[in-house]
């Protein structure tokens, strides 16, 4: 199976806290630094689960960009796309099973539709990060990518990414995209509103709802839940709900967002 993702390739900084932050004071943390970004995470997990995976992104040409591209290639992912000026950074603060993220997307949103090579989208499934629909020109690039992928018979899926960033322009683009599948948390589904599509609703430690049926999450001692939704998306695209839940379990049991 061939899976292509489109979105961000970023430097991911995860800090696992033992206690909540206190403004103006220090807290101890266990940290992890590596390649990240929602689309990159899905591609890495898909490759680890046996798919042929490609990430299409605009990559920073700085030292951080070289590092994250090399690391993603080490996971077996083909990285395609033009170079940019600066690599973005995501800082994720994890406490128990919860996480809070702050993001600087760097050059990734500057990916333009004319920079896409149709050959990059010869695949069985195209997965779009919701972040790719939030700004231009990458939003137009995502819509063109979907057209190229569908021309070859691929299904198109989307993860809305962050309910706090869903606005009317995002909804318009999502309706224009008309995805075959949307993988969303309950707040993201509610923020998107009515949409003719297949919904997979991610419910964190309560599991997922797919096809009108609830599936329980697999038991795990949570180390870091960051990226678990991306791992589930990859597993679902490769092998369905059961493989998605297993990938999410593996992700939660370790630091970092990639396998």
User: CATH no. for residue 104?
Assistant: 3.40.1190.20
Give me the number of domains the chain comprises.
1
234 secondary structure, DSSP code? H
| Residue 127: domain span | 2-252
257, part of any domain: no
pTM for the model stands at 0.91
- Mean of the pLDDT values across residues 64-74? 91
In a domain, 230, yes or no: yes
Q: Say whether pLDDT at 125 is over 70.
A: yes
Q: pLDDT (tens digit, 9 = 90+) per residue, 219-236?
A: 999 887 888 999 999 999
Residues contacting 164, CB < 8 A, separation 6+: none
pLDDT digits (tens, 9 = 90+) for 167-186: 999 999 999 999 999 999 99
SS3 of the chain: helix, strand, coil, percent, to 5: 40, 30, 30
Confidence band, pLDDT 50/70/90 cuts, at residue 97? low
Position 183 in a domain: yes
pLDDT reading at 100 higher than 90: no
Q: 106 in a domain, yes or no?
A: yes
Instruction: Determine the pLDDT at residue 223.
Output: 83
The reported pLDDT for the residue numbered 22 is 87
Helix (H), strand (E) at residue 145: helix 138-151
- Distance of alpha carbon 185 from alpha carbon 199, whole angstroms: 10
């Amino acid at each position: 199976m061939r899976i292509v993702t489109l979105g961000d390739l970023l430097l991911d900084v995860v800090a696992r806290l033992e206690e909540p932050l206190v403004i103006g004071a220090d807290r101890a943390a266990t940290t992890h630094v590596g390649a990240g970004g929602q689309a990159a995470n899905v591609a890495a997990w898909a490759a680890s689960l046996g798919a042929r995976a490609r990430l299409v992104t605009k990559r920073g040409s700085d030292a951080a960009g070289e590092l994250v591209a090399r690391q993603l290639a080490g996971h077996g992912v083909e990285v395609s796309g033009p170079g940019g000026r600066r690599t973005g950074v995501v800082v994720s603060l994890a406490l128990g099973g919860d996480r809070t993220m702050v993001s600087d997307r760097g050059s990734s949103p500057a990916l333009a539709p004319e920079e896409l090579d149709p050959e990059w989208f010869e695949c069985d499934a195209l997965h779009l990060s919701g972040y790719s629909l939030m700004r231009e020109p990458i939003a137009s690039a995502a819509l063109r990518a979907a057209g190229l992928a569908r021309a070859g018979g691929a299904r198109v899926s989307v993860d809305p990414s962050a309910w706090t960033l869903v606005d009317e322009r995002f909804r318009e683009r999502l309706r224009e995209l008309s995805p075959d599948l949307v993988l969303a948390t309950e707040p993201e589904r509610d923020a998107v509103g009515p949409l003719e599509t297949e919904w997979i609703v991610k419910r964190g430690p309560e599991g997922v709802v797919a096809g009108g049926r609830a599936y329980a999450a697999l038991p795990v001692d949570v180390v870091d839940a960051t990226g678990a939704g991306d791992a589930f998306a990859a597993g679902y695209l490769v092998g369905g709900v059961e493989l998605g839940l297993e990938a999410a379990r593996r992700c939660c049991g370790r630091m970092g967002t990639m396998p």
